[in-house]
Amino acid sequence: MLWARRPELAEEINTHHTNERYLPGFKLHPNLRCDPDLHDVVSGADVIVMGVPSQGFRSALEEVAQHARAWVPVVSLTKGLEQGSQLRMTQIINEVMPGHPAGVLTGPNLAKEILAGDAAAAVLSTVDPIVAEQLQGIFHMNLFRVYTNPDVVGCELAGALKNVFAIAAGMADGLGAGDNTKAMVITRGLAELSRLGEAMGGRFATFSGLAGMGDLMATCMSRQSRNRYVGEQLGLGHSIEEVIESMNMVAEGVKTSRVVVSLAEEYGIEMPIASEVYSVCHEGSTATDAYRGLVKGQTGGLEHSSLKFR
């Protein structure tokens, strides 16, 4: 059972089995039901799955908490960090709904490809191995394989941080940079992600797996990626305000870049690519400024480039 804030969306899903605003051209499973009444959806749920953008996650969860039964697991699909508090979503779950097992489902999971029936894999992470095994059985299907990983910190950080580097990869596309340049950005982005993730308590192996490298590659390369699209439009010369205004879905990397730069300073981690993304998204720099020296036709070499690779 799904909850939708808008009654007209619930009606569309129940009657036509579609969600044309977000998933145009796709049919949803006919058994999927949607209800605009949060109490009706949550009060009988054995598992609660939160697919809410990070900046609305806490307020939505506070509403959910009023109707949930005790000890029901709460699984986050959100790949972002809360502004101000810098908290991961499972940390917010533990604050708002203490006593409920908190978990995250993450990985290279582009919605349209999953709806089209293409094979995909995800990582289910929670600290309780028994809960993890039970949840794995709920989500696992023949063409959607679910693996478990106890490294909740690493899985959540990888999912949030990769969106920032997807914006950088998109800027390369918009500027017309070659595949070599884009591969360099993705690879060094993974290095930055891993350094900060380990400093914050994540495990190195997590960042080289599905939750880290796998998700990073899909988000940086896919035409379906919202964060890659943001970067591409910035590379084409549009302002961040124009790009956001043109979208009807949230690109988490824009706001996450602010949190990442703050965390990098706090933990003493050099993150030059993330810093450039932050400058373009929040300080008025352009994609051309960020890539100066790395794109054909611009002066300078790697040693004089804005994106300094380490």
Q: What is the DSSP string of 208-252?
A: TSIIIIIHHHHHHH-TT-HHHHHHHHHHTT--HHHHHHT-SS--H
Q: What is residue 306's predicted lDDT score, i.e. its pLDDT?
A: 67
> Which residue, 250, 37, 215, 233, is CA-closest to 125?
215
Q: What is residue 301's predicted lDDT score, i.e. its pLDDT?
A: 39
Q: What is residue 172's predicted lDDT score, i.e. its pLDDT?
A: 96
pTM higher than 0.85 for the full model?
A: yes
Q: What is residue 169's predicted lDDT score, i.e. its pLDDT?
A: 97
Q: What is residue 248's predicted lDDT score, i.e. its pLDDT?
A: 80
CATH class name, domain 2-108: alpha beta
Q: What is residue 293's predicted lDDT score, i.e. its pLDDT?
A: 73
**Both structure tokens of 175:** 């500027």
Percent of the chain with pLDDT over 90: 92
Q: What is residue 296's predicted lDDT score, i.e. its pLDDT?
A: 65
CB 168 within 8 A of CB 273: yes
- Give Cα separations from 131 to 102, 135, 157, 181, 232 (angstroms): 9, 6, 21, 42, 40
Residues serving a catalytic function are: 162
Show the low-confidence residues of the chain (pLDDT under 70).
Answer: 296-306, 308-310
Residue with tokens 């914006």: 167
Pairing of strands 34-35, 48-50: unpaired
Map out the domains of the chain as residue ranges: 2-108, 153-304
CB 170 within 8 A of CB 229: yes
Superfamily of domain 153-304: N-(1-d-carboxylethyl)-l-norvaline Dehydrogenase; domain 2 (1.10.1040.10)
**Both structure tokens of 218:** 């899909």
